[in-house]
Amino acid sequence: MLIQVLPDAEIKPLETAIKLEIVLCQASKISFEDLAKLVDQAGLAEMITPRIHGIPMNPPLTRNQFEIWKMAWPTSFREDTNRHPEIPPAEEEAILGHMRYAWEQTIEARTSGELPIVAVIVDPSTQKVLATTRDTRCSTKHILNHAVMNCVEAVAKREREACKSHSPHHHHQHFHELVAQQEESEIASSLVAAEDLDTSPICGEKRKDHPDSSMGDSLSSDAINIYNNKKQAVESSDRQDGYSEDQDQEDSTSSSRPKKAYLCTGYDVYLTHEPCVMCSMALVHSRVGRVFYTIPIAASGGLGSVHKIHSHSNLNHHFFVYQQVGYQDAATWSGGDSTAAALENENIDC
């Protein structure tokens, strides 16, 4: 028992009233009477009043459980991306609005001879559309030019242009360093000596900074909000193309912009169709926040149908996937054409 090994000298009442709680053992290991006896024998009866305290037996599955359970016991929380999330009611209108917008873009895709597959990337902190792209594998004669790949590149292009027009050297160089740090955690850890990664203060800083990695620890929703607000401030102060012009946002965060705008970190992605494995992994590489899609693709889908790339335990980034968003309305949104919906049963990669 812990009490028995503590030398007497160390057990003296503290002058300030610090309430220290120590876990002694599992309640089933010793009867309450025997424990009280031990405490008494050690001369600690006046200082210690042992009690039985309930703690959660399993890790929390939902954020709600986490919020309640952490009061009883320090616990960590990683949202389980394997579960099928419900669309938050408060966001439903905005989400369906973006999905409708994506489906409306399939009309033009069809008339121009492309596959009616569309991707839209949105910054959830502002609900601004950052990029809208369609599948261009037909017109470019390049079968890998899927809507998602095009959309990730469209966001990158915006970033490149923003970097060019806004203190060209500083941001880009800063970004270089950041990307190198990010990729470091990404590429084969066994190839790079493990201790190099784990003891590095640089990596330590980065991990604390990075929203998805800190999720693994007990990241509170406050921390996410702080991150989002920062990102929002950063976006609006740095965007040069009129997407977000909230002038009341402070400019002081602009110097930290490249750090916060790493690839597509935290962005929402709206897809008319479930992405193939290539596109699903591209979204992992891009660190997106959430993905919403309408039509599942049984033959090749990477976010639920054939594989669950978004929640695979070996991969270093996870995100939530909302399936069949707007499933009933898609045909109407796209002008009553069934071509897009028919892809569901085709042997195609989206």
Q: Residue numbers of the site for other proteins (CB under 8 A)?
A: 141-144, 149, 152-153, 156, 159-160, 163, 170, 173-177, 179-180, 183-184, 186-193, 196, 199-200, 202, 263-264, 276-282, 284-287, 299-300, 302, 306-307, 309, 312, 314-316, 347-349
- In the complex with other proteins, the residue whose CB is nearer, 163 or 271, is 163
DSSP one-letter string for 132-197:
EEE--TTTTT-TT--HHHHHHHHHHHHHHHHHHHSSHHHHHHHHHHHHHHHHHHHS-TTTS-HHHH
User: At closest approach, how far in Å is the CB of 320 from other proteins?
Assistant: 19
Name the residue nearer to other proteins (CB basis): 180 or 342: 180
Minimum CB separation of residue 31 from other proteins in Å reads 48
Least distance from other proteins to the Cβ atom of residue 327, Å: 23
CB of 77 to other proteins, least distance (A): 23
Report, in Å, the least distance between residue 157 CB and other proteins: 8
- For residue 335, what are the contacts with CB-CB under 8 A and spacing of at least 6? 107
The token pair at 182 is: 């990010």
Minimum CB distance to other proteins smaller for 149 or for 234:
149
Question: Cα 317–318–319 angle (5° rounding)?
Answer: 130
By C-beta, is 218 or 255 nearer to other proteins?
255
Which C-beta is closer to other proteins: that of 223 or that of 348? 348
Residue closer to other proteins by CB (options 185, 220) is 185
Least Å distance, CB 196 to other proteins, is 5
Alpha carbons within 13 A on the beta-carbon side of 198? 5
What residues pair up with 119 in beta bridges, in sequence order? Answer: 133, 271
- DSSP at 26: -
Helix-, strand-, coil-residue percentages of the chain, each rounded to 5: 45, 10, 45
**d(C-alpha 302, C-alpha 274), whole Å:** 7
Task: Name which of 60 and 146 has its Cβ closer to other proteins.
Answer: 146
Place of tokens 């490249």: 258
Termini Cα distance of the chain? 62
- How far apart, in whole angstroms, are the C-alpha atoms of residue 132 and residue 61? 34
Question: What is the nearest approach in angstroms of other proteins to the Cβ of residue 120?
Answer: 17
